[in-house]
Structure 1
Amino acid sequence: MADDKKRYYRKNVELFVLLEKMKLWPARSGLLHGIKNIEEHGKYAVITTHCGKTLRIYNSRNSRAARWLRNKWAVKPCKQCRVPEWKLEKYSKTFFDSHYGSDLIHKR
């Protein structure tokens, strides 16, 4: 069953909230990794991917990762993470707008 519904989110949301919603991490190599776990530690978080990589990231709206997710510059999935096809399809139908869409709220 294909979900043809487009999703709209605000453009300038916090990175942690965006990652928690999408569960995808754009690597500098252009790969999309699936996120297994996010542990928040104040302004920083530790992300564990499905392929075993551990990253310490800063919560920035203008970071490389946030921009890459919004602009969809990383579209090739990691083979080790085995990102499901439905998640990639959902990501491709997600749009970001500065004046329209869901304001993702951080749940603490």
Structure 2
Amino acid sequence: MAQYTFRKKQDLFSLLKEMKLWPSRSGLLHGIKSIDTLGNYARLTLYCGQEITVKNSKNSRAARWLRNTMMIEPCTECEVPDWKIEKYSNTTFK
């Protein structure tokens, strides 16, 4: 499997646009259907029907969790495909 590399201190929005994954506080990994940027904020629409408003930050909980590939399991309602989880687990940050 190929290694995917991103910059370590990348903006959250650019990271979300490339990965299309959102880690929730409960440890579930959701798939992102659409991202609407509104200045320094963005509205995320997830495949399970949730809408989340997030602020662009390099040091936020979500950015840290994405960089450290922290997750418990994928969301069953979003039905994140196995190839995307495999790609996410092989991603490194430099």
Alignment TM-score, normalising by the size of structure 1: 0.85
Structure 2 unaligned residues grouped into runs of 5+:
none
1:37 and 2:34 equivalent? yes
Computing the radius of gyration over CA atoms, which structure comes out larger, 1 or 2? Answer: 1
- 1:58 maps to which residue? 55
Corresponding pairs, count: 94
Corresponding residue number in structure 2 for 1:100: none
For residues 75 and 61 of structure 1, the distance between their equivalents in structure 2, rounded to whole angstroms, comes to 22
What value does the CA root-mean-square deviation take over the aligned residues? 0.6
How far 1:8 sits from its partner (Å)? 1.0
The structure 2 residue matched to 1:84, chosen from 67, 81, 84, is 81
Identity %: 55
Task: Report the TM-score when normalising by structure 2.
Answer: 0.98
User: What SS does structure 1 have at the residue aligned with 2:78?
Assistant: coil
Which 5+ residue runs of structure 1 have no aligned equivalent? 98-108
Deviating 4+ runs (over 4 angstroms): none
Indicate the residue corresponding to 1:6 in structure 2. Answer: 3
